Amino acid sequence: MFDHFGILAPVYEKYIKPKYPDKLAELTNLPIKGSLLDVGGGTGRVSQFLKKDVGNLYVADLSHKMLIESKSKNGLIPACSHSEFLPFPTDHFERIIMIDVLHHVCDQQQTIDELWRVLKPGGRIVIEEPDIHHWAVKLIAIGEKLALMRSHFLDAAEIVELFINFPANKKTIQEGHNTWVVIEK
Domains of the chain: 4-184 (3.40.50.150)
Q: What is the pLDDT of residue 3?
A: 67
Q: Are 96 and 118 in contact (CB under 8 A)?
A: yes
pLDDT above 90: residue 91: yes
CA 54/CA 103 separation, integer angstroms = 26
pTM of the predicted protein model: 0.90
Q: Sorting pLDDT into bands at 50, 70 and 90, what band is 99?
A: very high
For the chain, what's the residue count? 185
pLDDT above 70: residue 77: yes
Report CA dihedral (64, 125, 90, 75) to the nearest 10 degrees: 50
For 156-179, how does the pLDDT look when each residue is reduced to its tens digit (9 = 90+)? 999 999 999 999 999 999 998 899
3-state secondary structure string, 3-18?
CHHHHHHHHHHHHCCC
Nearest to 63 by CA among 30, 91, 41, 94: 41
Q: What is the pLDDT of residue 100?
A: 92
- What count of other Cβ atoms lies within 10 Å of the Cβ of residue 61? 26
Burial, 85: exposed, middle or buried (Cβ in 10 Å; 0-12, 13-18, 19+)? exposed
- What count of other Cβ atoms lies within 10 Å of the Cβ of residue 6? 15
Q: Sorting pLDDT into bands at 50, 70 and 90, what band is 5?
A: low
Question: Which are the contacts of 151, defined by CB distance < 8 A and separation ≥ 6?
Answer: 103, 104, 141, 144, 145
